[in-house]
Amino acid sequence: ADGATVPALVIGSGYGGSVAALRLAEAGVDVHMIEMGKAWDTPGPDGKIFANTTSPDVRSYWLRTRTKQPISNFLGFPLDKNVPRHTGILDAEEFGGIIVYQGRGVGGGSLVNGGMAVTPRRENFGAVLPTVDAGEMYGTYYPRANAGLGVATIDPDWFETAECYQYARVGRKHAQRSGFGFVFVPDVYDWDYMEKEQAGTVPKSALAGEILYGNNHGKNSLQQTYLARARATGRVTVSPLHRATSVIPAAGGGYTVTIDRIDTEGTTTTTKSVTADKVFFAAGSVGTSKLLVALKATGALPRLNGEIGKGWGDNGNVMCGRANHMWDATGKLQSSIPTAGIDNWAAGGAFAEVAPLPTGIETYASFYLSITKNPHRAEFTWNAAAQRAELNWQTAWKQPSIDAAKTIFDRINAKEGTIYRTDLFGTYKIWGDHLTYHPLGGAVLGKATDNYGRLQGYSGLYVIDGALIPGNTSVNPFVTIAALAERNIDKIIATDL
Ligand code: FDA
């Protein structure tokens, strides 16, 4: 309510925010979470909460009037279509040189992502978070996060026979024939449920092509895991369709947070203020960075240091497809949940997910999202004239990612006598180099904050999301975001409460 006072306010309900809320509540602290997206707990007119990937609708995009599908074309034909403007689930946020995809709603990115839950190889961890004790992370916090998220690996026997993973078995064959390491990728999807989907005994989600705009069944998003446990403590309340716009020191201590209540067309209906002893920035790498650069530049929090907005990276994301021979069909039925990857990180700086292309028809295509060792880092700055934060990423900065991905796919193409697909991202365009699913950084640990996410210059203000991680995790990021949040909140509870 307007004018309320709360012990802890969490801005954003993704991984960082959900971990913080649960652990604070368990420590006896009342927590209020605000989330600018919808609750995603009510079915639409079709009886389903979430829209299918093959037929995006009003629910699918955040405040756009036309879809912006990551795979924009098929056989050269554009796929995008008009939709009503709505606080939909997937934000395709456009900056100068990159589109950053993000989840919007209670559960953040966990609502839209593929659920791939990967712990980086320990030998790569020093490059991911150089100031963090790896022993503690691998001994305590990665296991805690994996357990809390419900991470599990596919039954390898079932994998060998499941029709819906023919595309992944073709991916394995091609990887191994070219001498690359092939690994199973753990996921938060309920594998028993997926086996029942394949057997035809339950309503289909992964096998109906659901992903990107939400999964109606099977996927353990944060709504089913951390947030459910947080709510069960009785100490956590969540306000959807509430957007934080300002945080300033309050006269009597703590911070006053200004919050816009928005309707489902994105229009502000009321503005409230809430005062909190402690404020946790968990709006995601982009959301937290945008807020902090604005607060520093406009004089709300002038003592934030010069590292605010810096160290942002795209986790080296780049996509491509390959055209297989007719004897390497990838299957009409493809599980939308990827379960395998090609590891060429040590030699070539690339880890490639073998991704589905669930079109419902045989495409003879293999599709991949590569995570690569891209050295470029961008910065958010405040444009006072336009009253908005901008990001200086350049499209050409993807070239090192393309080069790294080519260490895998040029070799596979040479070995198999195959070529790249050129019809998925436009006409005659091989590389999906215009986007990222994995924004990281902008308020980097040990730089904009201390080594536990405490913002420099203001006690009681914390960053606890992907903004802490300096641009790359060598694998899919959410397990690392959750594990780092577990580590930091442990310290904060022990010493700051
Ligand atoms: P996250 O983005 O999850 O949450 C931030 C929340 O804050 C959002 O709900 C947002 O609406 C809200 N917010 C923002 N500004 C606000 C404001 N001013 N006021 C109130 N609320 C605000 N990762 C992975 O490990 N495996 C995978 O398989 C995938 N796959 C994947 C697919 C797709 C399509 C996407 C878009 C992303 C992935 N990811 C992924 C990435 C993963 O989802 C991402 O790294 C995490 O969700 C980031 O977690 P955070 O806690 O940092 O923020």
Ligand 1 centroid to Cα of residue 438, in Å, is 8
The answer to whether residue 438 is catalytic is yes
Tokens matching residue 8 = 């802890």
Angle at 449 between CA 447 and CA 450, to 5 degrees: 90
So what's the pLDDT on residue 359?
A: 86
Ligand 1 centroid to Cα of residue 17, in Å, is 10
Q: Which atom of ligand 1 has the smallest separation from the CA of 485?
A: 51
Q: What is the CA radius of gyration of the chain?
A: 22
Nearest to 34 by CA among 325, 273, 305, 296: 273
Alpha-carbon dihedral 7, 13, 19, 23, rounded to 10 degrees: 30
- Global pTM reads 0.98
From the centroid of its chain, how far is CA 404? 22
DSSP-based three-state secondary structure for 339: coil
Per-residue pLDDT of the chain (497 residues; tens, 9 = 90+): 788 999 999 999 999 999 999 999 999 999 999 999 999 999 999 999 999 999 999 999 999 999 999 999 888 789 999 999 999 999 999 999 999 999 999 999 999 999 999 999 999 999 999 999 999 999 999 999 999 999 999 999 999 999 999 999 999 999 999 999 999 999 999 999 999 999 999 999 999 999 999 999 999 999 999 999 999 999 999 999 999 999 999 999 999 999 999 999 999 999 999 999 999 999 999 999 999 999 999 999 999 999 999 999 999 999 999 999 999 999 999 999 999 999 999 999 999 999 999 888 999 999 999 999 999 999 999 999 999 999 999 999 999 999 999 999 999 999 999 999 999 998 899 999 999 999 999 999 999 999 999 999 999 999 999 999 999 999 999 999 999 999 999 999 999 99
Ligand 1 centroid to Cα of residue 14, in Å, is 6
Euclidean distance between CA atoms 470 and 399, whole angstroms: 19
Give residue 173's region: left, alpha or beta (phi > 0; psi -120 to 50). alpha
Which DSSP helix (H) or strand (E) runs through 158?
helix 156-161
Nearest to 57 by CA among 212, 243, 266: 212
* 49 secondary structure, DSSP code: S
Euclidean distance between CA atoms 484 and 474, whole angstroms: 15
Tokens matching residue 74 = 């098929």
| Ligand 1 pocket, residues with Cβ under 6 angstroms | 11-16, 34-37, 101-105, 108-109, 112-116, 212, 243-244, 282-285, 287, 291, 437-438, 465-466, 476-478, 481
So what's the pLDDT on residue 84?
A: 97
So what's the pLDDT on residue 3?
A: 87
Active-site entry in 93, 353, 379, 416: 353
So what's the pLDDT on residue 339?
A: 97
Alpha-carbon dihedral 380, 458, 287, 278, rounded to 10 degrees: 180
List Cα–Cα distances, 404 to 72, 128, 371, 496, in angstroms. Answer: 23, 18, 9, 43
Nearest to 350 by CA among 310, 387, 318: 318
Asked if 348 contacts 407 with a C-beta cutoff of 8 angstroms, the reply is yes
**CA-closest residue to ligand 1 atom 50:** 284
Ligand 1 centroid to Cα of residue 365, in Å, is 28
* 293 secondary structure, DSSP code: H
Nearest to 205 by CA among 49, 336, 298: 336
Q: Which atom of ligand 1 has the smallest separation from the CA of 476?
A: 25
In angstroms, the first-to-last Cα distance of the chain is 24
So what's the pLDDT on residue 163?
A: 97
